[in-house]
A and B are shown apart, each in its own frame.
Chain A
Amino acid sequence: MARNGVFSRRWRAEKLEEFDKLCPSLVSDEVHVLAVDDSFVDRKVIERLLKITSCKVTTVDSGSRALQFLGLDEQESSVQFDALKVDMIITDYCMPGMTGYELLKKIKGSSFKEIPVVIMSSENVLARIDSCLEEGAEDFLLKPVKLSDVKRLKDYMFSEDRSRTEAKGMNKRKLPETSSNDPSTPTILPLTSIDTASTPSSEFCSSPSSPIAFSSLLSADSSSNSSMPSSPDSPTRRVKMSNQNL
């Protein structure tokens, strides 16, 4: 609504170009993971681990960059071209500035709350694990992360999920009747999608009928539901503990 003016044709064309350079295949069934870690080494490793399990990966070095990427930061420029559909967020716990826990809370209090968030930590602290799971983390991985961890994660999160499969195409939309139990990600369409069918909007996860409406989705979500607890049956409560050396 208010942000429609930002989407001038030239702006879009430029952004699409940049976008294409970064992510040449917009239309993809690949799982897209946003990995957040302040360590170069760990970013490189997690990126490889995810790529080798056939995920598309975007790495960022901080929680604030992650929020920026998702379009959740408070600046006007937050309507980013690169808010490509994110299927999962995997974040380090200990980071300067915003910790992984704080990032988790922010995400769970946003329109992206359905995106599974996995926390990684080098410290096997039960209280830490508990509080992350309480806040809705999908899983908690102990560092150093291994290939088997990532494979397992991908398997249980993305293989049996039929609504996610449905949601993966360009015209993904959250089904109007779905409750918060639906594990599909909020629908943020890539800019090149031109969806001419209109759908009834459900909460803040309505599928925009055009890229312009995409911005209104973001402007609508900014202050909503900051402390919505996840329902007992929601996927975020399905606790699957990783193989910890307990």
Chain B
Amino acid sequence: MEVVQLQRSFVECMASLFREGLLDAQFSQLQQLQDDSNPDFVVEVVSLFFEDSERLLNDLTMALDQPNVDFKQVDAHVHQLKGSSSSVGAQRVKNCCVLFRNCCEEQNTEACLQCLQQIKQEHLLVKNKLQTLFELEQQIVAAGGAIPMVQ
């Protein structure tokens, strides 16, 4: 594929991530922290986030599967997930966490399970889109092109 096409796809992918609210300004902050001395910073942080969040989602699934749900524990996991999603700019995941915490407060297992479903979907969505973005980035670099700056 031609570099120009790749670059266009990259710009579109990035723009849609922001437009659809999957990412927010914090992601741009991370991009600002990347430079020649740390060219993979964003990918590294995002990867860490996905590792972390997958673990948390598993923990949440198990915690909600208990006969007597420990809502304090569930809330603690959600709090962590909220923190890390906020730090990488995964806005929709973070917003789901806010709702989730309300359900924990109400000790409503059913509502919590729905929130969990929602978070998993949002998580998958942003993960896939970011993966596409990073792949495009790699392809552009491999083809000798420059990564477009998207404001």
Q: Which residues of A contact B (CB under 8 A)?
A: 39-42, 44-45, 48-49, 52, 94, 96, 122, 143-144, 146-147
Contact = CB atoms under 8 A, between A and B. Distances in A.
A96 B87 CA distance: 19
Contact of A40 (B48, B76, B89): B48
B30 interface: yes
A45 B86 contact: no
A39 B84 contact: yes
Contacts of B141: none
B146 interface: no
Given A41-B45, A122-B86, A49 B79 contact: no
Contacts of B87: 39, 41-42, 45, 143-144
A146 B89 CA distance: 11
B33 A147 contact: yes
* Residue among B29, B51, B79 with most chain A CB within 10 A: B29
A65 B131 CA distance: 35
A147 B34 CA distance: 12
* Residue among A39, A48, A94, A144 with most chain B CB within 10 A: A144
Contacts of A122: 82-83, 86
B88 interface: yes
Contact of A42 (B33, B44, B51, B84): B84
17 contacts: A39-B80, A41-B45, A41-B49, A41-B83, A44-B44, A44-B45, A45-B33, A45-B87, A48-B33, A49-B33, A52-B33, A122-B83, A122-B86, A143-B83, A143-B86, A144-B86, A146-B29
A39 B77 CA distance: 12
A48 B32 CA distance: 11
Contacts of A39: 52, 80, 83-84, 87
A42 B80 CA distance: 10
A133 B133 CA distance: 42
The A interface is mostly helix, strand or loop, or mixed, namely helix
Interface string B110-147: 00000000000000000000000000000000000000
B18 interface: no
B57 to A, nearest CB: 15
A147 B32 CA distance: 9
Contacts of B88: 41
A146 B29 CA distance: 7
Nearest to A96: B76
A146 B79 CA distance: 20
Interface string B62-99: 00000000000000100110111011110000000000
A6 B89 CA distance: 48
B48 A144 contact: no
B38 interface: yes
A96 B75 CA distance: 13
Contacts of B82: 122
A49 B38 CA distance: 12
A48 B52 contact: no
A55 to B, nearest CB: 14
* Residue among B30, B32, B41, B87 with most chain A CB within 10 A: B87
Nearest to A41: B84
A182 to B, nearest CB: 34
Q: Which 8 A-B pairs have the closest CB atoms?
A: A41-B84, A144-B87, A144-B26, A48-B33, A144-B86, A41-B49, A41-B87, A40-B48
A212 to B, nearest CB: 39
Contact of B52 (A40, A96, A143, A147): A40
A45 B45 contact: yes
Given A39-B87, A44-B45, A122-B86, A144 B29 contact: yes
